[in-house]
């Protein structure tokens, strides 16, 4: 059961808490379904196939709620790790794994007058994986890939686009404020104990 108060970094969708979209690209939203990339303590947002299906529809990766299973959930988590390695760490050793998934997904796309060159709606449980692989490939093929930054917030590590080079936090309301509170507490302790 979801609590009454939704944290500022989350959104409630169909009774499920999901990470608030704030990155600027679906590939980064995939990466942000895990928090704590920069620490040993991680928070998983995709805990069940139902969470994945809700997230995939909510983010617009798929047009309707897909019927996914635990194998697809495992596959999307593996793709997420590959995407993070590529987008955050520029780890080119992860590229072949992404290329294989993106090539397989690309082979499924169809050109239609109404929708352009897209994945067709289908009952394929792997549709979220295909759509996510294409989103990651899309971002890697754009100049915006060079503006990807990771939030330095404690227990965060979420990714976001920073085209102007001025953004530090995933969201000032959460990670930025936490850092300000910690910095203030450190200054107060230093003022109270100047000999330390």
Q: What is the pLDDT of residues 55-74, one digit of tens each?
A: 999 999 998 888 999 999 99
110, with CB counted inside 10 A (0-12, 13-18, 19+), is: exposed
Closest CA to 153 of 20, 37, 19: 37
pLDDT interval class at 180 (50, 70, 90): low
Please state the domain extents for the chain. Answer: 10-192
Q: What pLDDT is recorded for position 196?
A: 59
163-180: average pLDDT: 82
132, with CB counted inside 10 A (0-12, 13-18, 19+), is: buried
What class, spelled out in words, does domain 10-192 have in CATH?
Answer: mainly alpha
Q: What pLDDT is recorded for position 184?
A: 47
Per-residue CA distances from 142 to 77, 103, 145, 161 (Å): 23, 17, 6, 12
Global pTM exceeds 0.85: yes
pLDDT at residue 84 greater than cutoff 80: yes
- CB contact at 8 A, 58 and 18: yes
């Amino acid at each position: 059961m979801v609590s009454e108060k939704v944290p500022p970094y989350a959104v409630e969708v169909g009774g499920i808490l999901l990470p608030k979209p704030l990155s600027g690209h679906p590939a980064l939203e995939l990466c942000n379904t895990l928090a704590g990339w920069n620490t040993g303590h991680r928070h998983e947002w995709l805990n069940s196939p139902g969470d994945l299906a809700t997230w995939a529809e909510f983010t617009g990766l798929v047009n309707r709620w897909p019927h996914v299973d635990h194998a697809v959930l495992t596959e999307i988590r593996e793709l997420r790790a590959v995407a993070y390695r590529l987008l955050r760490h520029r780890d080119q050793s992860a590229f072949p794994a992404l290329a294989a998934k993106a090539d397989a997904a690309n082979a499924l796309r169809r050109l239609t007058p109404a929708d352009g060159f897209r994945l067709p709606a289908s009952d394929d449980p792997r549709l979220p994986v295909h759509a996510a692989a294409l989103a990651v490939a899309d971002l890697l093929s754009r100049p915006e890939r060079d503006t990807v930054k990771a939030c330095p917030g404690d227990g965060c590590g979420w990714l976001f686009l920073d085209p102007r080079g001025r953004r530090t936090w995933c969201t000032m309301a959460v990670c930025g404020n936490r850092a300000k509170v910690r910095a203030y507490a450190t200054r107060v302790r230093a003022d109270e104990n100047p000999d330390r």
